[in-house]
Structure 1
Amino acid sequence: MTKAEILKLLVLIESVYTNFVTKDEIVLFWFKLGPYLDCEKVFGKVRSHIRKSPYPPSVEDLIDFSGDMLMPSLSYAAGERAFRGSIQDSISAWMREYSIR
């Protein structure tokens, strides 16, 4: 997934679930894991979740770490590292990149 697709995903979730607030840590997490994910499968999962649940989806609801959702180049171990890794990017960097100014 590209950064633009990730932002579309988060905007979709936030627009459907009014109690969901996109925090900086969430954006940075998705930016870090996004390149390894299949966009169509993630959006399919979020659409399915929206139809079924009145609560916002968790990461585990949208990503299957067993390997079905991950791109072939990403092993399970690498997915776990990306999932549990530390956030090294500054929050202001992504805000500057995607601000409407």
Structure 2
Amino acid sequence: MTRAEILKLLVLIESVYTRFVTKDEMVLFWFKIGPNLDCEKVLGKVRSHIRKSPYPPSVEDLIDYPGDMLMPSLSCTAGESGIIGNRQDSLSPWMREYSIR
């Protein structure tokens, strides 16, 4: 999955499940595991889950990986650490990349 496809997936889940809020950590997690996933398969599982459940899906509901493969390192890399001062610096790296401003 590409980053754009991952963001569309998370927006879809967030729009259907109004109490689901996508946090930075979740986006970064999906960015790490996403390149190894088939977009059509994941979207098919999301559609199926939406039809069956009133609760948002977990990662395990959407992918076919064993549990130990779901835990990539989430440590910050250079440039991903915290707030520096102005608004642009306070945004997470993925938000800066996909922001319309």
TM-score normalised by the chain length of structure 2: 0.81
Partners of 1:56 and 1:45 lie apart in 2 by 12
Counterparts of 2:97 and 2:65 in 1: how far apart (Å)?
29
Q: What residue is the counterpart of 1:86 in the other structure?
A: 73
Instruction: Show CA shifts across 1:68-98 (max 9, x none).
Output: xxxxxxxx97xx1xx2122234272111101
Q: Aligned residue pairs: how many?
A: 88
Q: Where does structure 1 differ by over 6 angstroms across 4 or more consecutive aligned residues?
A: none
Q: Distance in 2 between matches of 1:19 and 1:92?
A: 22
* Matched residue, 2:87: none
1:70 matched residue in structure 2: none
Counterpart residue number, 2:62 = 62
Higher relative contact order (CA 8 A, sep 6+): 1
Counterpart code for 2:58: S
The answer to whether structure 1 residue 50 and structure 2 residue 50 are counterparts is: yes
Structure 2 unaligned residues grouped into runs of 5+: 81-90
Where does the alignment leave 5 or more consecutive residues of structure 1 unmatched? 67-75
The TM-score normalised by the length of structure 1 is 0.81
Cα RMSD of the aligned pairs, angstroms, is: 1.7
The CA distance in 2 between the partners of 1:37 and 1:21, in whole Å, is: 22
- Matched residues, percent identical? 77
Bigger Rg over Cα: 2
